[in-house]
Structure 1
């Protein structure tokens, strides 16, 4: 499924079932902003992620119930991703490997400058992995809670992530928690 097709499904479902969330979607980011993000993180972004940013530059913050995209997570804007990445790079500089954690596809680090968090709920969020293990795939997506380390990916690419989200909305295979679509995300 293409980024455009996934977004069309998501936008339609949000408009009909979660209008508070639909109202928070921003217009697309400029190529200039996206290039700034790539410069800050020191590497190019996957084309599917860029295409999504050009469609929607995250979501505006809202206190309205049901305004989040999934699991109370709001999509971050390019500026928020830059701020978050810089903050994490500074905060976790020098942290080594987590010896007890042995993931297959995600590096066993507290934080990695090859990770770009693109959603947020109380510092939990989905992460674009640009520096996976040898068994991983550049551009894979995983959920990073702030209290535990993730060992499983959610999708092999941002296209896969968005297609999975579109399928959840289309099939209504989610629970509602405080007006927000919610799915169980296994951590390890």
Structure 2
């Protein structure tokens, strides 16, 4: 699994090197083994092999730079930055402090029913401590790797939750599968880059 995800990641990097190399400038170096161990200690469990390999290869990105005429909006197609290991820990702490308390609130129970109907693979919670936030944007669209799915889901599945408009979508059964879909989609023209308000953004043509 670790070898596969790195193969797909290299395919993605190759596409951007040929077509949109500016995106590569925002990528951070990989995490250290010590940082991975710190993350696992905070979670109280081991990371999936593919997520571990991915973080060792790239630990987040910083697209809020002005070294180029156009800024980028994240190399993966969810319109947000990848998080570094330290940002993952900070984001997780934020969700633990602000979101997990809503799980049992009366107001959230109405939303829980909606989430369960539209995304049955993910537990109908506002936040679970075993959801690892791997990327997101300022509008609170957060992408999680889920280590505690329902019996209809898969450990390590990837989903996106938009806290601002209360929507949730399963993206893939694993991070490896998510990058596989993306790498293949770039090659087929499903994913493409366009300028939007002085930013380069990855878009998804669902018709392909």
- TM-score for both structures, normalised by structure 1: 0.89
Q: Tell me how far apart the structure 2 counterparts of residues 106 and 112 of structure 1 sit (CA, whole Å).
A: 10
Largest Rg, 1 or 2 = 2
For residue 30 of structure 2, give the secondary structure of its aligned residue in structure 1. Answer: coil
- 1:77 maps to 84
Q: Which has the higher contact order (CA 8 A, sep 6+)?
A: 1
Alignment of 1:99-110 (within 5 A): 99-101=112-114, 102=116, 103-110=119-126
Mapped contact 2:157–2:175 kept (Cα < 8 A): yes
RMSD: 1.9
In the alignment, structure 1 residue 183 sits paired with structure 2 residue 204: yes
Unaligned residue ranges in structure 2 (runs of 5+): 104-108
Q: Deviations over 1:38-69 (max 9, x none)?
A: 11122211000001111111112324433511
Count how many residue pairs are aligned between Structure 1 and Structure 2. Answer: 184
- 1:148 maps to 166
Q: CA deviation at 1:184?
A: 6.7
Q: Tell me how far apart the structure 2 counterparts of residues 113 and 149 of structure 1 sit (CA, whole Å).
A: 19
The partner residue of 1:87 within 71, 74, 94 is 94
Alignment of 1:1-188 (within 5 A): 2-63=4-65, 64-69=70-75, 70-96=77-103, 97=109, 98-101=111-114, 102=116, 103-122=119-138, 123-146=140-163, 147-150=165-168, 152-177=169-194, 178=196, 179-183=200-204
Q: Deviations over 1:18-37 (max 9, x none)?
A: 22211111111111101111
Question: Larger % of helix: which?
Answer: 2
Question: Larger % of strand: which?
Answer: 2
Q: Tell me how far apart the structure 2 counterparts of residues 184 and 81 of structure 1 sit (CA, whole Å).
A: 29
Q: Tell me how far apart the structure 2 counterparts of residues 11 and 99 of structure 1 sit (CA, whole Å).
A: 38
Mapped contact 2:60–2:83 kept (Cα < 8 A): yes
- TM-score for both structures, normalised by structure 2: 0.81
Q: Tell me how far apart the structure 1 counterparts of residues 160 and 99 of structure 2 sit (CA, whole Å).
A: 18
Mapped contact 1:20–1:67 kept (Cα < 8 A): no
